[in-house]
Amino acid sequence: MTTTVHDLRAWKAAGRRFAMLTAYDFLTARILDRAGIKVLLVGDSLGQAVLGYDTTLPVTMDEMLHHTRAVARGAGDAMVIGDMPFMSYQASTEEALRNAGRFLKDAGAHAVKIEGPMFDLAATMTERGIPVMGHLGLTPQSFHAMGGYRVQGRSEEAAGRLFDHAVSLEKAGVFALVLEGIPMDLGAQISKALAIPTIGIGAGPDCDAQVLVITDLLGMDERPAPKFVQPYANLGQEIEQAVRSFAQDVEDGAYPDLEHSYR
């Protein structure tokens, strides 16, 4: 059965930790679902991971919907969360509701994720039946305002503000909260205070769940990884070697051989 927002809250209450991963296509979603990943985020990180952008800012609604549809077709029992891209929800409540509805109605997502202390919007969305995941700390869509990709909440004042924002988002109705790029002690403090699960990415070991970008986990990106990333494979090199072997066999006339030819 498909994982629901009620499952995540029950896991939090039971002290059951879980993993969330990003997915951007049908085949990856199917593999992750088969591996037991219960929550798939179609992140706007596809801007860098798939589309070759320098940041998440250029990612459009059409691009997000395109990839969300593919993931939804492969997700099986996993919950699919669509990441609302930059300026798809900040301009007006009406536009935000319309775009969130497209994720659920047109693309097959089960929920959406929004960044920042958008308390009123989160409350309005949940009142309209749209499950919302929050995201605080280092929010990539706001990296210009933050002065770059910097750890957030280091000072006592900033930590207090993030804590208050987390509590307010829970009150607004979000079913889970991503905490990115914050000190581990603050991650632990917020996680202990909330009844909803926290999902850490660079927020320490005491969050209720952890998320990574799938291309980081698989070692497919040659760019330097953030401090919090633990690669579990080196598929970039493996893929390159496989392609080199194929090309060499073609050049040498070794492929295709009789075994791989029709008679």
CATH code, domain with 35 = 3.20.20.60
Segments of the chain with pLDDT less than 70:
145, 147
Same domain, 206 and 239: no
Q: Among residues 90, 186, 173, 208, which one has the least CA distance to residue 136? A: 186
Same domain, 244 and 223: no
Same domain, 240 and 177: no
Same domain, 216 and 240: no
Q: At what angle do helices 156-172 and 184-193 cross, to 10 degrees?
A: 30
Same domain, 253 and 186: no
Same domain, 98 and 144: yes
Mark whether 180 is an active-site residue: yes
Which value, in Å, is the radius of gyration of the alpha carbons in the chain? 20
Confidence at residue 149, expressed as pLDDT on a 0 to 100 scale = 78
In this predicted model, what pLDDT tens digit does every residue of 15-46 receive, in sequence order?
Answer: 999 999 999 999 999 999 999 999 999 999 99
Q: 225-252: string of b/e by CB count within 10 Å (b at 16+)? A: beebbebeeeeeeeeeeeeeeeeeeeee
Same domain, 246 and 174: no
Contact of 194 with 175, CB cutoff 8 Å: no
Structural domain containing residue 247: 235-263
Same domain, 104 and 79: yes
Catalytic, out of 180, 238, 240, 251: 180
Same domain, 145 and 256: no
Confidence at residue 148, expressed as pLDDT on a 0 to 100 scale = 73
Same domain, 197 and 246: no
Contact of 8 with 197, CB cutoff 8 Å: yes
Contact of 42 with 64, CB cutoff 8 Å: yes
Q: How many domains does the chain have?
A: 2
- Percent of all residues in the chain with a pLDDT value above 90, rounded to a whole number: 93
Same domain, 21 and 132: yes
In this predicted model, what pLDDT tens digit does every residue of 68-111 receive, in sequence order?
Answer: 999 999 999 999 999 999 999 999 999 999 999 999 999 999 99
Same domain, 29 and 130: yes
